[in-house]
Structure 1
Amino acid sequence: MKKILLIEDEANIRKLLAYDLKLAGYEVDEASDGEVALQKALSNRYDLFLIDWMIPKIEGIDLVKMFRDKGLDGVMIMLTAKDEESNILEAFEAGVDDYITKPFSPRILLVRVQSHLKRHSSKKSQDFSGLKVDENKRKVYVHDELLQLTKKEYDLLTYFIRNANIVVSRDQILNDIWGFDYDGDTRIVDVHTFKLRTKLKDAPIEIRSSRGVGYILEEKE
């Protein structure tokens, strides 16, 4: 499920857009100001950002610059009443992928969100240290051999790849892969990671345990 961060300070608009996006099958997080948005963006992975320009604490245009400076590669769509050419140019120079002026049709917004996510996903067949991940087909190859993974193992592997060379805690993995509503034991993370590590024995990468913390994906030495 694609994950969207909706950044909008007007509660009525935010709730309406969030409802429509969830109805369309997206997972949606909300932020009503720039500081909350920045915190969420840096602690989660989002496929797309919907960003209102005029929001409290940190303006949308500055958020875009911060997100791009920090290497966030999700689709970024600016939502704003600013319709001057200079504003539009400034936004694209900052790093947005699209610019939608208010008022707008929610149906048109959904179509553009779908279009951007489809194109963005098509770019995500990636090669990581000899391990090829085709995110469109949800398939993984090690030295051109198809790796037989369960759905959860695939989700877990792509999660580790997105966070390569970073130690991620068991709680963080549990929240991001199993969801905040999962009330089981964190040992489920260890069980699935063990199975995944076994299947990656011939791969040029490995998932290492960080004692007492979690796991880290790195290249084999």
Structure 2
Amino acid sequence: MAIVSIITGNMAISSVYWIHGTAILARAKTSPLLGRGSQVFNAALSQSNRMSIRRGLSMELMEALVVDDDPAVVAWIARLLREDGWHVHVAASVREALLMIHRTPIQVAIVDFELPDGLGTEAVQSLRKTVPDAAILMLSGYSDDDAVVNGLMAGADDFMHKPVSASVLRARIAAVLRRHTMPDRLTVGDLRLDRQSRKLAGTNGEVQLTAKEFQLLATLMGRPGEVVARATLLADVWGYDFDPGTSVLDVALSRIRQKVSSVSAQSTIVSVRNVGVQITSH
């Protein structure tokens, strides 16, 4: 299956094929033909997520591990991570990954599902035991549900199918890191958002949130008073690296506003035209 344009700086890999998990780069070209809207969206998303990745992490602790036996994939992911300030370690097998895990305090790991000497889930399980708070993402060239289930059950925080764009990969890393660094309870004004129960409480009572509502509200409450770009919200909550041109975000925001107003008279969610969304309290 071919990808249409993976954006890497000012280059676009225009023909990348995945055959049984192996990447074959057919050709690359400069100046990808992107619409103005896509360029603006991806620029905003990239900048926002780079800030999110760095927030709360000291440079000396930013250790990342990429586990994949495909040199092209490793080089691409490693370059993205280094651009975002990570010190990158690489491994091409389960054995190499296990050695690295016991030698280095890994903060983020991106692990391929199928490796030459076994499944990446073995490395995931070891890392989860060694560094319980590590952010772990798995990749696979296969789209079967069993791989996803096995990866998540082994301890991965997220599972992505190849190919994946740079903006989505960055957004997923940022989202997983926020979940790991998020306190059990977020507070803005009289609002209290419980991570475990997904309940929102305020002066006037409490209300249950759906998974998407929780993700959306947690992103906003984690940055009180800050205007969060719509591009960031779409990527973090729905995994979009483009503006889908639908009202999915606006519908979700409408539901959250209703729930916030039902439990609080102090806090409001405000849309800033052409900028993003913020939660405020008075």
Task: Give the TM-score normalised by the residue count of structure 2.
Answer: 0.42
Match of 1:194 among 244, 247, 254: 254
SS in 2 for 1:180: coil
Separation in 1 of the partners of 2:197 and 2:275? Answer: 32
Residue 133 of structure 2 corresponds to 116
1:157 aligns with 2:217: yes
Aligned equivalents of 1:157, 1:151: Cα separation in 2: 10
Q: CA deviation at 1:186?
A: 4.0
Give distance in 2, aligned partners of 1:215 and 1:204: 17
Partner of 1:170: 230
Q: Which runs of 4+ in 1 moved over 6 A?
A: 13-16
CA 1:125–1:9 in structure 2 vs 1: closer, same or farther (change >3 Å)?
Answer: closer
Inter-partner Cα distance in structure 1 for 2:259 and 2:212: 13
Q: 1:6 to 1:176 in 2, by over 3 A?
A: farther
- After superposition, the C-alpha distances for 1:94-134 in whole angstroms (9 at most, x for unaligned) are xx88xxxxxxx724213234x3369x679422333221121
Change (3 A) 1:186 1:170: farther
Within the alignment, does 1:214 sit opposite 2:214 as a pair? no
Give the superposition deviation at 1:12: 3.3
> In the alignment, which residue of structure 2 is the partner of 1:25?
none
Is the contact made by 1:9 and 1:32 (CA closer than 8 Å) also made in structure 2?
Answer: yes
> Displacement, 1:141?
1.0
Q: State the partner residue of 1:12.
A: 69
Q: Structure 2 CA distance, aligned partners of 1:149 and 1:131?
A: 13
State the aligned residue count: 154
More strand by percentage: 2
Does the Cα contact within 8 Å between 2:267 and 2:280 map onto a contact in 1?
yes
Query: Measured at CA, do residues 39 and 203 of structure 1 come closer, stay the same or move farther in structure 2, by a change above 3 Å?
Result: farther
1:191-217 residue CA offsets vs partner (Å, 9 max, x unmatched): 211221122122432111101222111
Structure 1 counterpart of 2:189, from 106, 126, 129? 129
Q: Is the 8 A contact 2:64 2:89 kept in 1?
A: no
Amino acid at match of 2:218: T
Distance 1:167 1:14 in 2: 39
Q: Name the SS of the counterpart of 2:201 in structure 1.
A: strand
Please say if residues 82 and 88 of structure 2, whose CA atoms lie closer than 8 Å, have aligned partners that are also in contact.
Answer: no
- TM-score (normalised: structure 1): 0.51
Higher relative contact order (CA 8 A, sep 6+): 2
Structure 1 residues 109 and 190, CA gap change in structure 2 (3 angstroms): same
Q: Deviations over 1:113-163 (max 9, x none)?
A: 4x3369x67942233322112112222211272213233222211111123
Which amino acid letter does the alignment assign opposite residue 260 of structure 2?
Answer: L
Q: Distance in 2 between matches of 1:127 and 1:144?
A: 15
**1:139 correspondence with 2:139:** no
Q: Is the 8 A contact 1:52 1:80 kept in 2?
A: no
> How far apart are the structure 2 equivalents of 1:152 and 1:122?
16
| Percentage identity across paired residues of the two chains | 24
CA contact (8 A) 1:165 1:218 kept: yes
Q: Offset of 1:32 from its aligned partner?
A: 0.8
Structure 1: gaps of 5 or more residues: 19-29, 42-48, 55-78, 98-104
RMSD (CA atoms):
4.5
Distance 1:178 1:110 in 2: 25
